Amino acid sequence: MTSIDDLPIRDDLRGLSPYGAPQKHVKIALNVNENTHPIPEAVARSIVEALAASILTVNRYPDREFTELRDSLARYLGHGLTRDNVWAANGSNEVLQQILQAFGGPGRSVLAFPPTYSMHSILAASTGTRWIAGERDEEFGISPETAVRWITDTAPDIVFFCSPNNPTGTPLSLETIRAAYDATDGVVVVDEAYAEFAPDGEPTALTLLDGRPRLIVSRTMSKAFAFAGARVGYMASDPAVADAMRLVRLPYHLSTLTQAAAIAALAHTREMLAMVDDIKAQRDRLLVELPKLGYIVHESWANFVLFGGVADPNAVFEALLEHDIIVRDLAIPNHLRVTAGTEAETSAFLQALGEITALGDIGSFGPLGRIDS
């Protein structure tokens, strides 16, 4: 049987692994940071009606400039943004890929700070952009001084930040973003996929866009809008950056149906975001309850919690699977990550983990250093 190694694939792609969290059919899936709340029925009906209307025109190509969608996204983001500041694609991954296609590529580099979203390095590899792995400060933070030091030492063409960071949930200060921007002549990208889960009133990188034409803020409808299956991501930037995206995007890359569904969802922003407060409450609950079981938690402004002190993450992962629950083992030593689900899902997870912790021995299950009598 022919394998990929038998094909004349690019040398820099040999030996790489594709992105992919385990896809297992379980009752409670808390492994990929989905919004586990269903879309409200009234909103779902509105989206279906929009799709029904748009299906009548699918014999024609979609609006190549997705003008109405960009208007809707600009209204949602606020901050004085207009359609000219907005770009969208099939998930924020495609937005990030287009950024790398336009500003990266062979002979260019991108600096990021692992542990961070794994697709960043995968997209760098797929576009032939050299990946530079910077180092974080304690508790997964990135100070302005740390960011500037790495930029000065490595002179990257692109700098990637993730705020809040995935998989740690760590917030990123605006001071760090400002300092990084001032330290480079390249593009600075702030991936704000989980921005809606930050504490109320906290400013985002959107507030820094004015006067910074090389700053890009990427967002997604997958998380807060419960639209993971629809694949809608977008970015805000200087209009010139959107012009650069037009040079690398595929023609008519956003389907008529995708545009219609997203526009309809954005028309119901209040209803769609009503579930965010509940998700934040469950995240905060995890931050309180996991330490009671003896685990170490890290500050999170996202819809998930990274917890440490796990003696054998794979064993705990497998034990949770036996309870029909899946979380994420990210190969961070002694850590696992869990998505904040519904109240019922969070309760089931905490109960199962409590049982596993109580029954397991320190060598294979439970928190490091925990001694059960």
pLDDT in tens, 292-303: 999 999 999 999
For residue 335, give every residue at least 6 positions away whose Cβ sits within 8 Å of its Cβ, in sequence order, or none. Answer: 306, 307, 308, 310, 313
| Structural domains of the chain, count | 2
Q: What is the pLDDT of residues 12-33, one digit of tens each?
A: 888 888 876 667 789 999 999 9
The reply to whether 13 falls in a domain is no
For 28, the domain range is 22-37+275-359
Q: Which residue has the tokens 């269903």?
A: 38
Give the domain CATH number at 91: 3.40.640.10
Give the domain CATH number at 307: 3.90.1150.10
Asked if residue 239 and residue 151 are part of one domain, the reply reads: yes
Cβ contact 219:192 at 8 Å: yes
Q: Which residue has the tokens 């997209």?
A: 123
Give mean pLDDT, residues 220-244. 97
Cis, peptide link before residue 62, omega less than 30° from 0: no
Asked if residue 217 and residue 126 are part of one domain, the reply reads: yes
The reply to whether 11 falls in a domain is no
* pLDDT at residue 37 in the model: 93
Q: What is the pLDDT of residues 104-137, one digit of tens each?
A: 999 999 999 999 999 999 999 999 999 999 999 9
pLDDT at 363 over 50: no
pLDDT at 211 over 90: yes
Q: What is the pLDDT of residues 131-187, one digit of tens each?
A: 999 999 999 999 999 999 999 999 999 999 999 999 999 999 999 999 999 999 999
Asked if residue 167 and residue 231 are part of one domain, the reply reads: yes
Asked if residue 195 and residue 55 are part of one domain, the reply reads: yes
* Main-chain dihedrals φ then ψ at residue 264, nearest 5 degrees: -65, -40
Give mean pLDDT, residues 235-253. 97
The reply to whether 184 falls in a domain is yes
* pLDDT at residue 362 in the model: 44
